Chain A
């Protein structure tokens, strides 16, 4: 397979001509955008300053204009003379009255927000892994697209001064949701056990929480100046931000070490928290799209866009409920069938997660597991993990909760797909509410190809065939990415030979995890551990990892053994000894 050639992957053929220039240029990239906007902002502000300096009459004119503006006095409640006299206000007025300068100002505002986001992410999470980066970029782009359509509907044929507050609002929302997205990803897919990392994460979660509360407060202050429709939209945005921030905050609290003595309760809590937040957020989004759809000025292209998004969020909600139902079924079965018992020895560990058992479920074969560990396992198998004692499965349809998702069910309604038969509730829902929206067509070859590229960018180690197969089922790159992250594709994921050497980074806060880990291993004074710790702490180019040292030792030992064995007679004859 040509794809498997690592050389070809690392040095892709350089395209020639214009394609080369386009491919290599820094645009469109966030860095390129930031640099460009900074340049423009600097040039614009320099020109404003020089104008103010060289033409004093502008100052006088502006002062007069400001004095005549009655709105200002009511809004700020400060003496009009102070405002009119201050250069800052004069400049602001100058910029606001100039069409070009307004756009430069708005652009600089976005650039500054983007830089803040980048900085905060850098400070909190250090490096983002490749997967996180791609996911964040996808979320960001879809947010931008949405905001543009949203603005076009909300402001309609209004003038620039109506668009500006919306743009500023959209910027703040984008800033918040981007940070929330990245933090969520981190919390969701990382083991929650590092002290120093979690300090920064809790700081950012508090920050997000306060910003979203402040946003809500601001909206409620300005509510009387707004019509009810935009006000409702603003409240939706605020609520969404508050929900997400609360989720992050709670998730942060639940993952702290204080609760690590009882992993099951934490998992239970996280599960319900995630379910509730996701559902609430999707419901809110659905409502806001519905509102936009209903109140859009006339039927146009944007209506289709909103309808499409309504369908997507509706599918997400249903998918979530379906997944929850199957989980609940298994869980109820576990709770009713197996007694909760205290572990015989206090240091007994659960075989699945290797954490302390405590009070846990006992199977008929007398093996004990955490509730959630048992549930995860029973979701894919119906035997005891330890002894393979066959335990009656909860229910046929509940036996594989994660093998499909809502989109699949929506499309391949009631059909048998691969090795699983679609659960029956698909048909129920599909026939009632699903008909309103109609069924989406299967993705075309081009769509599949573009989705494949998206997924491959995040998971270069996966084979394209596997991803394509999943994409055909899920019909959306997002669900496939989720499938991979949640391990639902683990069964089929075959690795491309040759790409294994590629560094596939994962969404983990590993550096910190590792520090903690070194600490743990340092404990007693065994020579091996000391060497390792010493070596891993010493810096320098010739630093060897634990693995490399052990490998050198091992090869040395076994070479000696081999040379002493009968097989090495010819080598000994050649004079090679050790």
Chain B
């Protein structure tokens, strides 16, 4: 498989630049390394993350698209399905072989049919609808379930931070 990952990543990059999807930017960090990408996704409208611009990094394995990439937010996002260190826990990013939570059926796992754009769109919808059944961040899941107002306040503080706006005083 070696060697073909790069070709596909380059094709995907071309697609993303010629037909950029709404509210998503993704590009290799360094032109010399197509296996390490930086991306920005915007919070879905009508949610507490609305209008936030969240940066993340995607790391591709050498045998992409057979194995899924890894995604990690770099803005300290507080969300039930994102580990405190920023790693995204989403079923389509799990390889068919492993099942860390035991909750997913293999239908939801990684497949080469996924692409960078599809991953990012899934992450956007994950921001809108957290899945608190198998939380990556237990505190966030708890707050999401029990104290929605506080959760929304935390999210709003982050949105302001990513937009370089002063924090709310309330």
- On A, residues with C-beta under 8 Å from B are 188-193, 351-355, 373, 376-377, 380-381, 383, 385-386, 388, 419, 461, 484-488, 490-495, 497, 500, 503-506, 508, 510-511, 513-514, 517, 520-521, 526, 528-529, 532, 545-547, 550-551, 554-555, 558-559, 561-563, 565, 567-568, 570-571, 574, 576
Contact = CB atoms under 8 A, between A and B. Distances in A.
Contacts of A386: 111, 113
Interface of B: 1-8, 10-14, 17-18, 20, 23, 25, 27, 30-36, 38, 40, 42, 50-53, 57, 59, 61-67, 70, 72, 74, 85-87, 95-98, 106-107, 111-113, 156, 159-160, 162-166, 168-170
A562 B159 contact: yes
A386 B5 CA distance: 18
B163 A419 contact: no
A376 B95 CA distance: 14
A29 B127 CA distance: 51
Contacts of B163: 555, 558-559, 562
B62 A190 contact: no
9 contacts: A188-B2, A352-B66, A377-B112, A380-B66, A494-B70, A497-B85, A513-B34, A558-B163, A562-B163
A504 B113 contact: no
A490 B63 contact: yes
For the complex of A and B, the 10 pairs showing the least CB-CB separation, nearest first, are A487-B63, A490-B67, A490-B61, A547-B27, A562-B51, A191-B6, A191-B7, A487-B62, A352-B112, A497-B85
B165 A532 contact: no
A546 B29 CA distance: 10
A493 B27 contact: no
B42 A554 contact: yes
Given A381-B96, A570-B169, A576-B166, 11 more contacts: A191-B6, A376-B66, A381-B111, A486-B63, A488-B63, A490-B61, A491-B67, A517-B10, A562-B50, A562-B165, A565-B50
A104 to B, nearest CB: 41
B62 A484 contact: yes
B8 A491 contact: no
Contacts of A189: 2-3, 62
Given A487-B67, A559-B163, A351 B113 contact: yes
Nearest to A382: B96
A193 B11 CA distance: 12
B170 to A, nearest CB: 7
Contacts of B66: 352, 376-377, 380, 487, 490
B68 to A, nearest CB: 8
A412 to B, nearest CB: 19
Contacts of A546: 17, 27
Contacts of B74: 500
Contacts of B42: 554, 558
B86 A555 contact: no
A493 B61 contact: yes
A492 B94 CA distance: 10
Point out which of A351, A493, A506, A520 has the most chain B C-beta atoms below 10 A from its C-beta.
A506
Contacts of A353: 4, 7-8, 65
Contacts of A559: 51, 163-165
A383 to B, nearest CB: 7
Contact of A461 (B59, B95, B169): B59
A91 to B, nearest CB: 48
Given A500-B72, A504-B36, A517-B14, A385 B67 contact: no
